Amino acid sequence: MALRALVTLLFVPLFLSPATFGYSQANIKKWCSQTPNPEPCEYFLSQKPNFHNPIMQKSDFLTISKKLALERALKAQSNVFSLGPKCKNAREKAAWADCLELHEYTHHRLNKTIDPNVKCSQTDAQTWLSTALTNLETCRPVPYTVPSYKHGFPTWVKPGDRKLLQSSSAPKANIVVAQDGSGNYKAIKEAISAASSQSGRGRFVIYVKAGTYKENIEIKLKNIMLVGDGIGKTIVTGSKSVGGGSTTFNSATIAVVGDGFIARDITIRNTAGATNQQAVALRSGSDLSVFYRCSLEGYQDTLYVHSQRQFYRECDIYGTVDFIFGNATVVLQNCNIYARYPPNKINTLTAQGRTDPNQNTGISIHECTVKAASDLVASQSSVTTYLGRPWREYSRTIFMKTYLDSLIAPAGWMKWSGNFALNTLYYGEYANTGLGSSTANRVNWPGYHVITSASIASQYTITNFISGGSWLPATNVPYTADL
């Protein structure tokens, strides 16, 4: 809790004007009173009298806070490691392993905010701090009761095409993967291992020829690019699920955390099925990651946009319950979102997980299409499909200029549990079309908004929401910068 509070308080100095604190030295209590969590702030600052220089301005306070958070992160990582022997079964052991990994990522992100050799803008800092908090939350038990088909992360605390390569815009492949032996390797995992010794500072391209690759892959290297032969041609498939004994976090067929990841023209599937609960096809915690002309296929929890800044363009996404979920700052553009037939007769497209109002996270769905998948079309009248529901207290999701077909329920949005988050969430709809786009009978929650102002909607565009103009051009992926 102390580490979470320390990470949370770091957001405040990013936004307060210098006048808020003044430029004279102030006592610890005065500084900490401006934060969301004064008590842990006061405690940890007072425990480190020689840890910092005098606090003269907000930048001093931010630096001190980041150093403290990093110190506590290292301590927390050590504490989590010591809990391994206390795990009673395979499920607890798997969840413990997830938490170890997440604490490692938290340490890495916090360190980047204070490393003088790392370029860190205000947006970068807010993104990485948001990610640190998301990592910690992923290790927490869900603090409220949810029905069995809803997801909460089990933890140790509580166990619950070639043409592309020939185009001028695509880089030359460094490694070729082909099941028929015509490439350098037959498995994608082998190519990733080879990349660890061959990759340098530039982008490393792995071309995966057409075929079905039954693998679960984790990519930690930076600037990796996977290029396939097209949707339905190059297929990566796995079947891990919570129902099968995995954690949600570790069920992904492909999981990426190395920054700058790009995937093009690939299908990523989780074939666990509709009744095996949470089963992730793709999990991304890769900052500045891009997915272009990919198909992401599963049922519950298909696409886990876990954290960082992400962009999806011309992708197909299939699922049932909460099948686009997580706490990244993400834009989906010109994508097809297909709801499948769910066992419980209820579909929810999104479940966004922002836990703090200062996090710059959210799901923005822009110029996409929402329709029933082929298995749902015939039974559409017996299934209720919602745009989303609030997984966490400050859940934020926006649909803009998107075609919503008749499968969308008139109310639009679904509660999670009772009145949880209805006042604090932010759900918005702007200039959508289609039989399911009418807002006449939408929910009347305080956090729901029918957006009529272009200036408000523009906050959730490529330019403003993920600062795409500074990094997307280098990926050679098309995008619409603004509304």
Same domain, 114 and 208: no
Same domain, 116 and 211: no
Same domain, 231 and 112: no
Cα–Cα dist 276/26, whole Å = 56
Same domain, 317 and 459: yes
Q: What is the mean pLDDT of residues 414-431?
A: 98
Same domain, 329 and 463: yes
Same domain, 347 and 286: yes
Same domain, 236 and 116: no
Look at residues 448, 297, 427, 411 and name the one whose alpha carbon lies nearest to residue 350: 427
**Is 383 inside any structural domain?**
yes
Helix (H, G, I), strand (E, B) or coil at 316: strand
Residue 105, pLDDT score: 76
Q: Which domain holds residue 297?
A: 176-474
**Is 35 inside any structural domain?**
no
10 Å Cβ neighbour count for 425? 25
Residue 53, pLDDT score: 60
**Is 96 inside any structural domain?**
yes
Look at residues 259, 458, 443, 455 and name the one whose alpha carbon lies nearest to residue 364: 458
Count up the domains in the chain and report the number: 2
Residue 36, pLDDT score: 76
Look at residues 55, 54, 53, 70 and name the one whose alpha carbon lies nearest to residue 10: 70
Same domain, 377 and 449: yes
Residue 199, pLDDT score: 65
Catalytic residue among 259, 265, 322, 356: 322
Look at residues 246, 218, 216 and name the one whose alpha carbon lies nearest to residue 95: 246
Instruction: Count, in order, helices (H) and strands (E) of the chain.
Output: 13, 26
322 is catalytic: yes
CB 328 within 8 A of CB 284: yes
Same domain, 195 and 129: no
Residue 10, pLDDT score: 58
Residue 43, pLDDT score: 75
Same domain, 316 and 428: yes
**Is 92 inside any structural domain?**
yes
More confident position, 260 or 74: 260
Cα–Cα dist 430/439, whole Å = 10
DSSP H or E stretch at residue 106: helix 90-114
**Is 195 inside any structural domain?**
yes
Domain stops at, among 84, 112, 139: 139
Q: Which two tokens stand for residue 72?
A: 């506590």
pLDDT, tens only, 387-421: 999 999 999 999 999 999 999 999 999 999 999 99
pLDDT, tens only, 164-205: 333 334 458 999 999 999 999 999 999 999 999 876 678 999
CATH number of domain containing 238: 2.160.20.10
Phi, psi of 146 (to 5 degrees): -130, 150
More confident position, 5 or 30: 30
Residue 312, pLDDT score: 98
Residue 157, pLDDT score: 25
**Is 145 inside any structural domain?**
no
Same domain, 226 and 343: yes
Residue 150, pLDDT score: 34
10 Å Cβ neighbour count for 144? 11
Cα–Cα dist 480/312, whole Å = 12
Same domain, 303 and 430: yes
